[in-house]
Amino acid sequence: MTDVADAERLIAARIPTTGTTIRDLDDAVGAVLRQAIRAERDQPPFDRVTMDGIAIDFSDWENGIREFEVAGTQAAGDAALDFHGAGRCIEIMTGAMLPAGANCIIPVERTSRSNDSIRVDGDAVVEKLQFIHPRGSDRLAGSELLAPGIRLGPPEVAVLASAGCAEIEVSPLPRVAVISTGDELVDVDEPIADHQIRSSNDRAIEASLKQHRVATVTRSRLRDERDVMLSAIRELHEQNDVLILSGGVSMGQYDFVPSVLEELGVELVFHRIEQRPGRPMWFGMSSDDKAVFALPGNPVSTMVCLQRYVLPALKQMLGLESDVAEIVRLSADVEFTADLAYFLPVVVTWTDDGNGIAEPRPTNTSGDFVSLAGTDGFVELPRGTDLYTAGTPARLFRW
Ligand code: AMP
Ligand code: MG
């Protein structure tokens, strides 16, 4: 059997990165950037005034001048006025370009005007270069502002706009078919008999993929009939980049998924992982580089395997930088005697000094998905011990 780290490595070694597509800046938020973005101009592009007030030559101030003749008014968006110092000033607005020859801004609050001259308060503190955001002090023209592989949020969209990027290269979302299998399943709005259950895994998988913005999703539900599965999965495989199945991968007489996938030419990479829950997980690749994840149907297993293996694989397809591990500490002792890695649902709280504390919320069984509601995710407790004492650090995987 494969252990958790091997499973992760085997998947990462096989997952291809998508090509790229061009996206309008209007639709860029949430996309994964696939090109380096360089500064169009120095940032800021000119010496930018940061206060409403007057622009002066600081040597006038040093020479004791406190009253200045107004030589002009310059707003944001005006070209720089020609400025001749010696007792003169320019009335200036925030965002304006520093007038040539000026090197000091005195805020309007420290001045009073009479006719064409402006007096500065006697007790005003005035320093050379004050209230000026110097050209190029944030970034120089041509320097890299954004690296490929980042998820574009509001600050990055602002940077793209500032760099004149109306269109950018991003990752297209992989097309993922979510396929639930099982004769017992009925959909949310269908009549239901005593021996049936409502299908929830497909909804949870779709919700996760949407929440993490890693795929476009279609859902299908298949009965446990081998030839029906064969033709339906063949078609879905042709139409999609990735398949995620739930159910039918264990040892039951109707667990046809592995044999169907192999008959469709999907090469088995591993089947079963030394973990609980989610031990029966199956992963394979087809010769056209499409990944197939067949997850056990028990809903807690499905969610844990999706989170631990499928989401990172989809992020890798998108060319996203890998997530930084988030480490939290157990709030209480946890006993787990099976020689398997243990994925334990938790609620995370934060101490005043910034430590994440994971409160165990074990489910009754891997079928008890109702107990997952309200949890933040799960921690991974590696094999090799029976007792994880309170305070043990563990990696958190958020839903
Ligand atoms: P299986 O892996 O097919 O043996 O399924 C194991 C358990 O998970 C069974 O009790 C199923 O009813 C349940 N299960 C399978 N698929 C789903 C689904 N789509 N939604 C909710 N429960 C499911
Ligand atoms: Mg089943």
Give the number of whichever ligand sits closest to the CA of residue 200.
1
Does residue 89 lie in a domain region?
yes
How many A from CA of 181 to the centre of ligand 2? Answer: 6
Q: Are 120 and 68 in contact (CB under 8 A)?
A: yes
Domain C-terminal end among 110, 133, 156: 133
Q: Is any atom of ligand 1 closer than 6 Å to the C-beta of 250? A: yes
Does residue 14 lie in a domain region?
yes
What confidence tens digit (pLDDT) does each residue in 48-79 have?
A: 999 999 999 999 999 999 999 999 999 999 99
Tokens read off for 130: 């004050």
Predicted confidence (pLDDT) at residue 227 exceeds the cutoff of 80? yes
The pLDDT of residue 337: 97
Same domain for 28 and 12, yes or no, is no
Q: Are 358 and 346 in contact (CB under 8 A)?
A: yes
Q: What is the mean pLDDT of residues 262-281?
A: 98
Residue 229: CATH number of its domain: 3.40.980.10
What is the average pLDDT score of the chain? 97
Same domain for 273 and 236, yes or no, is yes
How many A from CA of 52 to the centre of ligand 1? Answer: 66
Q: What is the pTM of this model?
A: 0.94
Same domain for 183 and 309, yes or no, is yes
The pLDDT of residue 202: 98
Same domain for 27 and 164, yes or no, is yes
For CA atoms 379, 335, 5, 178, the dihedral sign is: negative
Domain C-terminal end among 289, 317, 345: 317
Does residue 356 lie in a domain region?
yes
What is the C-alpha to C-alpha distance for residues 33 and 145, in angstroms, rounded to an integer?
Answer: 12
Residue 151: CATH number of its domain: 3.90.105.10
Same domain for 296 and 369, yes or no, is no
Secondary structure letter of residue 151 according to DSSP: B
Which one of 179, 185, 225, 250 would you pick to mutate in the ligand 1 pocket, going by the greatest count of ligand atoms within 8 A of its CB? Answer: 185
Same domain for 260 and 193, yes or no, is yes
Q: What is the mean pLDDT of residues 42-50?
A: 98
Does residue 121 lie in a domain region?
yes
Q: Is any atom of ligand 1 closer than 6 Å to the C-beta of 47? A: no
Predicted confidence (pLDDT) at residue 374 exceeds the cutoff of 80? yes
Q: Using pLDDT thresholds of 50, 70 and 90, give the confidence band for residue 192.
A: very high
Instruction: Look up the domain containing 163 and give its range.
Output: 22-43+146-170
What confidence tens digit (pLDDT) does each residue in 78-134 have?
A: 999 988 778 999 999 999 999 999 999 999 999 999 999 999 999 999 999 999 999
Q: Are 278 and 366 in contact (CB under 8 A)?
A: yes
Secondary structure letter of residue 369 according to DSSP: G
The pLDDT of residue 82: 84
Does residue 138 lie in a domain region?
no
Same domain for 273 and 205, yes or no, is yes
Same domain for 178 and 252, yes or no, is yes
Domain C-terminal end among 86, 112, 133: 133
Q: Are 184 and 196 in contact (CB under 8 A)?
A: yes
Does residue 141 lie in a domain region?
no
What confidence tens digit (pLDDT) does each residue in 283-309 have?
A: 999 999 999 999 999 999 999 999 999
Does residue 140 lie in a domain region?
no
Q: Are 181 and 243 in contact (CB under 8 A)?
A: no
How many A from CA of 256 to the centre of ligand 2? Answer: 9
Same domain for 239 and 297, yes or no, is yes
> Which residue's C-alpha comes closest to atom 10 of ligand 1?
298
Tokens read off for 146: 């954004």
Atom of ligand 1 at shortest range from CA of 296: 2
Same domain for 201 and 244, yes or no, is yes
Q: What is the mean pLDDT of residues 251-264?
A: 96
Report how many domains make up the chain.
4
Which one of 190, 196, 201 would you pick to mutate in the ligand 1 pocket, going by the greatest count of ligand atoms within 8 A of its CB? Answer: 201
Q: Is any atom of ligand 1 closer than 6 Å to the C-beta of 180? A: yes
Give the number of whichever ligand sits closest to the CA of residue 280.
1
Q: Is any atom of ligand 1 closer than 6 Å to the C-beta of 366? A: no
* Burial call 384-393: b when 16+ CB within 10 Å, e when fewer: eeeebeeebe
Q: What is the DSSP string of 318-350?
A: TTPPPPPPEEEEESS-EE--SSSEEEEEEEEEE
> Which residue's C-alpha comes closest to atom 7 of ligand 1?
298
What is the C-alpha to C-alpha distance for residues 5 and 380, in angstroms, rounded to an integer?
Answer: 11
What confidence tens digit (pLDDT) does each residue in 237-255 have?
A: 999 999 999 999 999 999 9
Same domain for 248 and 115, yes or no, is no
Residue 88: CATH number of its domain: 2.170.190.11
Predicted confidence (pLDDT) at residue 322 exceeds the cutoff of 90? no
Percent of the chain's residues with pLDDT above 90: 98
Residue 368: CATH number of its domain: 2.40.340.10
Q: Is any atom of ligand 1 closer than 6 Å to the C-beta of 184? A: yes
Does residue 393 lie in a domain region?
yes
Which one of 196, 203, 246 would you pick to mutate in the ligand 1 pocket, going by the greatest count of ligand atoms within 8 A of its CB? Answer: 246
Same domain for 8 and 65, yes or no, is no
Atom of ligand 1 at shortest range from CA of 221: 19
